[in-house]
Amino acid sequence: MLSIFNLHVTVGDKPILNGLTLDVPAGEVHAVMGPNGAGKSTLGYALTGRPGYEATAGSASWDGEDLLALDPAERAAKGVFLSFQYPLEIPGVPAMTFIRTALNAQKRARGEAEVSAPDFLKLVRAASTRLKMNFDMLKRPLNVGFSGGEKKRMEILQMVLLEPSLLILDETDSGLDIDALRIVADGVNALRSPERSMLVITHYQRLLDYIRPDRVHVLAAGRIVASGGPELALQLEAEGYDKYAPEALQGAA
Amino acid sequence: MTAQRLDLRDPSSFPSRRVEAWKYTDVRRLLRDTPPASPEAEVAPGGPFAALGGEELAFVNGRCEGFPGIVAKGRGEAPMRLRFVSTADGAGHQPEAAIEVTAGSRLVLLESHEGRAAGYVANTRLKISVGEGASLTRIVLGEDAADALAFVRAEVTLSPGATFEQVTATDGARLQRFETHVSHPGQGASVRMDGLYALSGERHADLTSVVTHAGLDGQTSQLVKGVVRDTARGVFQGKIVVERGADGTDARMAHNALILSERGEVDAKPELIIYADDVQCAHGNTVGTLDESALFYMQQRGLPAEEARALLTQAFLFEVVDRIEHDGAREGVREWLTARL
């Protein structure tokens, strides 16, 4: 279970998260929706330990493990995976080399046996076929010159191969046309399992037509201000975020 | 650039930084007098390219018994290994060698500058000519001692239709300079002059080159990349001159460096000097650090910070290694570099 309690995060001295509390039980998919500037991406970065995103109070744990005490690579080895809104280009490092290096680094950190190159090749071939990816793309430097859709597909491929237990999807639908969105969503849905939790961060409801959440939370001004079932997403789509604007929230309080 | 030619026997030839061509590599600051002459010595066959076979010629402390000069004829596959080995502490020597690749021939020259002593001074001078339609691949490895002063100057004359591919890879020395002057006649001749440096500690490496295009339709492509750590210093001075009438010249030069420490330094001076009208020339120069966002992305996927840094650095430099066409030499340089990152 992902358990976040009263989390405060500053970015360059500016408070962005102001007492965020949220639980995602094992096997559940929770959506975090909110207006621009609410702190959605900050939540993803804070949970994964991006330098410059400083937790000043509160806690965040995954499977009882204090995430905030670990460096980014250690968190990854504990099964935490952030799918980036804008995946980075890694010049000179072929995608396949990158993923194998990452997988084996995680396995080493967990004290597991590493995967040999031939075995890894088999895994990659199977996964890329399933995701309808051109295998030659995997020989090219990771994400360099890839289209937005190709980059997102590459994120899904990494999820499939790294088998994280906590998936954080940051605006995964941005930059995707409807066909690419379907392929990406199918990839994510295939990963749903009783042991795996997912946090789907999104501005728009559209993605949730494809990745059906168990719960929906509204993030505004750095806190969760409302929670509900999937119908909450539809309501947000219809009514917008106006009633969660900072002024409205202050008025309500 | 030819005004000051270093000669160890003549201290008045030791350039200081006031000499424009040596302003980043100040010899006089570290060397004021002629060093004692290095003694005769022998070394066992070997060197960093030993595994690639071929004939070996070794200059030890500047001497190579009965060295007749290299004259390459034919298009054999076997490389020639030319070693310059320094074995005497604090002593100096200046080997000279002439290399001729005759018309239509092909030579792969694997040249190594090997330090087996402390504080030596080596000043190596090469005269190279590549005949009509001939091809020379020159791979230069600098593995000098950390406290050595080492200078290598090559003058390369190409004939029409010649191909010259040079890659210099070095980890520097107390003061080290690889200098290449190419006289480029155009007319189907083509030059690739690449380099890479990976420096740490207090090491210094200077890659200086001058390519002078004097004829029509010549090609030059140059890619130099470097990484500095600690208080190391990398210098790149690349000059391409296109003389009047050398129309149709296509010349491209790029230098990219990473500084991985607070006190590392890189000095770059790319120059294009063009007197002809109809040419395609470009140069680019970047000096930066590793991309922090990319590093975080890699760590997020499970790579520890150090491993992520090493992978990015290696990938950065491998771009130069990948351009080496000779398979054995390419893998040899890759191995050499991997051991130094």
pLDDT of residue B182: 98
pLDDT of residue B4: 64
pLDDT of residue A149: 86
Give pLDDT tens digits for B139-167. Answer: 999 999 999 999 999 999 999 999 999 99
- Paired tokens of B238: 């690349």
pTM for this entry: 0.86
Q: Give the residue from chain A lying closest to B314, CA to CA.
A: A92
Q: DSSP state, B13?
A: G
Beta-carbon separation of A90 and B299 below 8 A? no
Q: Cβ of B1: how many Cβ atoms within 10 Å?
A: 15
Residue B174 confidence (pLDDT) above 60: yes
The torsion angle over the Cα atoms of residues B210, B213, B218 and B224, rounded to 10 degrees, is 10
Residue B177 confidence (pLDDT) above 50: yes
Residue B185 confidence (pLDDT) above 90: yes
Cβ-Cβ contacts under 8 Å between A and B: the total is: 76
Give pLDDT tens digits for B242-256. Answer: 999 999 999 999 999
- Paired tokens of A223: 């806190």
Closest CA relative to residue B166, chosen from B204, B223, B249? B223
State whether residue A111 sits within 8 Å of chain B by CB. Answer: no
Task: Name the residue facing B299 among A73, A93, A99 (closest C-beta).
Answer: A73
pLDDT of residue A123: 95
Task: Name the residue facing B301 among A50, A51, A162 (closest C-beta).
Answer: A162
How far apart CA B271 and CA A205 sit, in angstroms, is 55
Q: Average pLDDT in the B228-238 region?
A: 98
Cβ contacts of A49 on chain B, cutoff 8 Å: 299
State whether residue A91 sits within 8 Å of chain B by CB. Answer: yes
The torsion angle over the Cα atoms of residues B212, B95, B91 and B56, rounded to 10 degrees, is 110
- Paired tokens of A14: 């500016």
Beta-carbon separation of B301 and A141 below 8 A? no
Task: Name the residue facing A73 among B291, B303, B318 (closest C-beta).
Answer: B303
- Paired tokens of B124: 């190596």
Contact A86, A176 (CB under 8 A): no
Beta-carbon separation of B315 and A89 below 8 A? no
Q: Which of residues 233-252 of A touch B (CB under 8 A)?
A: none
pLDDT of residue B76: 80
Q: Average pLDDT in the B12-36 region?
A: 96
How far apart CA B273 and CA B293 sit, in angstroms, is 38
Average pLDDT, chain B: 95
Q: Cβ of B64: how many Cβ atoms within 10 Å?
A: 16
pLDDT of residue B1: 42
The torsion angle over the Cα atoms of residues B62, B340, A118 and B312, rounded to 10 degrees, is -130
Q: How near does any CA of chain B get to the CA of A204, in Å?
A: 25
Best A11, A45, A50 residue to mutate vs chain B (most B CBs within 10 Å): A50
Angle at the Cα of A9 (from B293 to A110), degrees rounded to 5?
60
How far apart CA A150 and CA B55 sit, in angstroms, is 50
Beta-carbon separation of A98 and B298 below 8 A? yes
Q: How near does any CA of chain B get to the CA of A163, in Å?
A: 11
pLDDT of residue B2: 44
Give pLDDT tens digits for A99-137. Answer: 999 999 999 999 999 999 999 999 999 999 988 888 999
Q: Which H helix or E strand runs over B158? A: strand B149-158
Beta-carbon separation of B300 and A72 below 8 A? yes
Beta-carbon separation of A77 and B319 below 8 A? no
Q: Give the residue from chain B lying closest to A73, CA to CA.
A: B302
Give pLDDT tens digits for B283-309. Answer: 999 999 999 999 999 999 999 999 999
State whether residue A67 sits within 8 Å of chain B by CB. Answer: no
State whether residue B297 sits within 8 Å of chain A by CB. Answer: yes
Residue A38 confidence (pLDDT) above 50: yes
State whether residue A108 sits within 8 Å of chain B by CB. Answer: no
Cα→Cα distances A190→A151, A156, A185, A187, Å: 19, 10, 8, 5
Best B296, B306, B316, B341 residue to mutate vs chain A (most A CBs within 10 Å): B296
The torsion angle over the Cα atoms of residues A212, A218, A224 and A230, rounded to 10 degrees, is -30
How far apart CA A245 and CA A251 sit, in angstroms, is 10
How far apart CA A82 and CA A167 sit, in angstroms, is 6
- Paired tokens of A164: 């994280």
- The secondary structure of chain A, three-state, reads CEEEEEEEEEECCEEEEEEEEEEECCCCEEEEECCCCCCHHHHHHHHHCCCCEEEEEEEEEECCEEHHHCCHHHHHHCCEEEECCCCCCCCCCEHHHHHHHHHHHHHHHHCCCCCCHHHHHHHHHHHHHHCCCCHHHHHCECCCCCCHHHHHHHHHHHHHHHCCCEEEEECCCCCCCHHHHHHHHHHHHHCCCCCCEEEEEECCCHHHHHCCCCEEEEEECCEEEEEECCHHHHHHHHHCCHHHCHHHHHHHC
Q: Are strands A53-62 and B106-115 parallel, antiparallel or unpaired?
A: unpaired
Write down the ipTM of this complex.
0.95
Beta-carbon separation of B298 and A77 below 8 A? no
State whether residue A70 sits within 8 Å of chain B by CB. Answer: no
Q: Give the residue from chain A lying closest to B321, CA to CA.
A: A92
Task: Name the residue facing B302 among A77, A84, A88 (closest C-beta).
Answer: A77
How far apart CA B107 and CA B163 sit, in angstroms, is 10
Give pLDDT tens digits for B44-95. Answer: 999 999 999 999 999 999 999 877 788 888 888 889 999 999 999 999 999 9
β partners of residue B169: B141, B196
Beta-carbon separation of B297 and A103 below 8 A? no
Taken in order of first residue, the domains within chain A and their CATH numbers are 2-87+146-252 (3.40.50.300)
Contact B140, B193 (CB under 8 A): no
Beta-carbon separation of A90 and B294 below 8 A? yes
Q: Give the residue from chain A lying closest to B306, CA to CA.
A: A73
- Which residues in B204-336 belong to E strands, given as ranges? 204-213, 219-228, 233-242, 250-259, 265-274, 280-288
State whether residue B109 sits within 8 Å of chain A by CB. Answer: no
Q: Give the residue from chain A lying closest to B298, CA to CA.
A: A102
State whether residue A145 sits within 8 Å of chain B by CB. Answer: no
State whether residue A143 sits within 8 Å of chain B by CB. Answer: no
CA neighbours closer than 13 Å in the CB half-sphere of residue A217: 23
Q: Which H helix or E strand runs over B309? A: helix B305-321
Average pLDDT, chain A: 93
Q: Average pLDDT in the B199-223 region?
A: 97
pLDDT of residue A250: 64
State whether residue B341 sits within 8 Å of chain A by CB. Answer: no
